[in-house]
Chains A and B, each alone.
Chain A
Amino acid sequence: MKYIEEFQDPALARRLLDDIHATVTRPWALMEVCGGQTHTIIRHGIDQLLPEQVELIHGPGCPVCVTPLEVIDKALEIASRPDVIFCSFGDMLRVPGTGRDLFQVRSEGGDVRVVYSPLDALRVAQENPQRQVVFFGIGFETTAPPNAMTVHQAKKLGIHNFSLLVSHVRVPPAIEAIMQSPSCRVQGFLAAGHVCSVMGVSEYPELAARHRVPIVVTGFEPLDILEGVRRAVRQLERGEHTVDNAYARAVRPEGNPAALAMLEDVFEVTDRAWRGIGVIPDSGWRLSARYRDFDAEHRFSVSGINTREPAECRSGEVLQGLLKPHECEAFGTLCTPRSPLGATMVSSEGACAAYYLYRRLELGTVPAAATTPQEASPVV
């Protein structure tokens, strides 16, 4: 596919890697914010090819990982109702709430459906006027505009059996929270390119300046990731800390004005709990008063659900890069991708799930050939 294949080219990847190897003189810790970027890194084995000095800390940018337990429990409660068709992106079905997940709700008779787009859920509502159709509206700034448009359409078309269970989160407040943490080790950020496609980059210069960290807007193909790393390392080596757009083909400084206007109309900024972390001020969106009728939490009056989370899991430290996933006592024993203790293990983009695969590989003696760039060239 155009715009993908060219950005996976192994020969160009090697040039970028050579440049990074030639530039780096000291250890640097970078955080790729987005789970999609983590996925690319794992899928292509990119972190094994970077110089040892460059450490990638997998950030909290997976909507599955950060959706608060409380909201999952609300979803489970709503999805269990006989009058409800509960529609969700596929990722969310495996995420455990308190004691069960959406798969289990389905096995107990709940009508839970996987859809590709929120508009598919709206169509389900049109086709089933006698049932309540609820869409699980999770995600970052990239997914918020599609969900906003869907609610807008529901209102415009008078589809009153449709509602949204909203748990949207915003990236900049999360970066702020990470930087404010006293033990933070992150020295530079690869910002989430598709979030910036929508939002633009105006929120970042102030963050970069105040915390003195480079923020490089980064895409999702292997060459994009390498270029993000290269530009961040270059800035760090020079003692700079600016906002740089390494994903210019898909990110304009002003973002997408039509999407921003819709977000402004449909949502309003609110404090939002991130799973396991707690509440980050102003880090989320909820439906604005104009769309309150389409809020599933109101429609089904689900509230006051207590969250109790096991003490074994230390994903907060993992998130900070303070603890490698395998150093957690639960890792690989109590906590595996199949029975995840923590959010970082739930999604294939989560740091622990990613590490689970690697660590087992390292424990089984892998030939050193796999990890050094010198020997990588003949296979590309």
Chain B
Amino acid sequence: MSDAGTTLDITGWTCPAPLRDRPRVVMGHGGGGALSAELVEHLFAPAFGGDVLAQLGDSAAVSLGGVRLAFSTDSYVVRPLFFPGGGIGDLAVNGTVNDLAMSGARAAYLSCGFILEEGIEMSVVARVAEAMGAAARTAGVEIATGDTKVVEAGHGDGVYINTAGIGIIPDGVDLRPQRVVPGDVVIVSGEIGLHGVAIMSVREGLEFGVDVESDCAALGGLVQSMLAVTPDLHVLRDPTRGGLAASLNEIAAASGTGVVIRERSVPVPAAVANACAILGLDPLYVANEGKLVAFVPREHAEAVMDAMRAHPLGRAATVIGEAVDAHPGLVVARTALGGTRVVDLPIGEQLPRIC
């Protein structure tokens, strides 16, 4: 059909073979979207077995000796190692502290595994370590154990860090998407997209000037102040990779409710919106490192909002939507013009586009 000179037949337009199964890992498998979810569901979970993993939350809730613990791990691979508003060190502490906080737990102890690349300057490692210590003190958590490995030059981006953490989940706190019911109010703790845009602004090939810093912060204190209002919050998530869209989709899918957000209510700083505009990205899909999204029973929502706004990390807390009966499992945005659109789970990495 693609021979020149034959009659043009637009109705006969056909399409190429699909790419269904990936024989190798692609970057999207680490992007926090659909590909990541499938890797866990179809490869890791069946291989590991076990009931706790099936929770598939940011952290696992386990009982040990009559105490409910939150247990979580995360690995940090970020380029460049230092970026406006933070670096891999703060990220490695705050990220795991936040994963625990999303279970309602205050982080108690962290472990820390370094994978260092041969040749990296000792001063860089020191800078990372000092940032980790400072972040741990701020978050009120102790780095209790660790490990260091070195890989040959060329086999790592200088520093990779894994941290794991544990913390105690207070009595009466049960945060999981299955508890979401229609009518729950969706609150985001502040402006979105700052971390992702800060990183992109210094990423090779994309560099742009922007007065935006990463929002990297430990959310344990904010969560405690919310739980002080009521232990009956339904679910919390920190919208990191995949952004707010990924978190809302995970909650919608796991809870079996629909989620409606009002797009104009979502707090997007102008610089984030404009950076996204020139790259063709959607702020809802851009990563955050110091924000949370909460599904709160309607009767407690106002008091929870007050508590959040009284906390330095929740000053710009905003109601952005609610859980609904309709379209179970789907996240729908009401646009400023009064239309609607589906906010889908990101597939893999968000890529700058020209179209």
Contact = CB atoms under 8 A, between A and B. Distances in A.
A133 interface: no
Interface stretch (A101-109, A149-157, A251-259): A101-109
Contact of A103 (B20, B27, B355): B27
A23 interface: no
A62 B12 contact: no
A181 B355 CA distance: 26
A45 interface: yes
Interface in A60-110: 62-64, 68-70, 89-91, 93-94, 96-101, 103-104, 106-108
A181 B8 CA distance: 8
A185 to B, nearest CB: 11
A361 interface: yes
A178 B11 CA distance: 10
B13 to A, nearest CB: 2
A273 interface: yes
A103 B28 contact: yes
Contacts of A44: 335-337, 339, 341
B232 interface: no
Interface residues of A, number: 105
Contacts of A268: none
Nearest 9 CB-CB pairs, A to B? A45-B339, A316-B13, A376-B338, A90-B351, A342-B15, A364-B327, A313-B15, A357-B342, A276-B13
Interface in B1-30: 1-6, 8-20, 22-28
Nearest to A337: B347
Given A103-B27, A347-B353, A370-B340, 18 more contacts: A10-B337, A46-B339, A90-B352, A96-B18, A97-B16, A180-B8, A279-B8, A307-B16, A309-B15, A310-B16, A310-B18, A344-B15, A360-B327, A361-B342, A364-B329, A366-B340, A370-B334, A373-B338
B2 A68 contact: yes
B326 A341 contact: no
8 contacts: A8-B336, A90-B280, A91-B351, A96-B17, A181-B11, A273-B2, A278-B6, A343-B15
A89 B16 contact: no
A228 interface: no
B153 to A, nearest CB: 18
A211 interface: no
B2 to A, nearest CB: 5
A377 interface: yes
B274 A1 contact: yes
- Among B3, B17, B328, B337, max chain A CB count under 10 A is at B337
Contacts of A120: 205
A278 B2 contact: yes
Interface residues of B, number: 60
Interface of A: 1, 4, 8, 10, 13, 35-36, 39, 42-49, 62-64, 68-70, 89-91, 93-94, 96-101, 103-104, 106-108, 113-116, 120, 139, 143, 177-178, 180-181, 183, 222, 271, 273, 275-281, 307-320, 322, 334-335, 337-345, 347-349, 357-358, 360-361, 364-367, 370-371, 373, 375-377, 379-380
A378 B217 CA distance: 37
Interface of B: 1-6, 8-20, 22-28, 34-35, 205-206, 258, 262, 270, 274, 277, 279-280, 326-330, 332, 334-342, 344, 347-348, 351-355
A139 B354 CA distance: 9
B249 to A, nearest CB: 12
A45 B335 contact: yes
Q: Is the interface of B mostly helix, strand, loop or mixed?
A: loop
A205 B206 CA distance: 40
Contacts of A104: 19, 22-24, 26
B18 to A, nearest CB: 4
A357 B274 contact: no
B38 to A, nearest CB: 9
A191 to B, nearest CB: 16
A90 B353 contact: yes
B353 A89 contact: yes
A310 B17 contact: yes
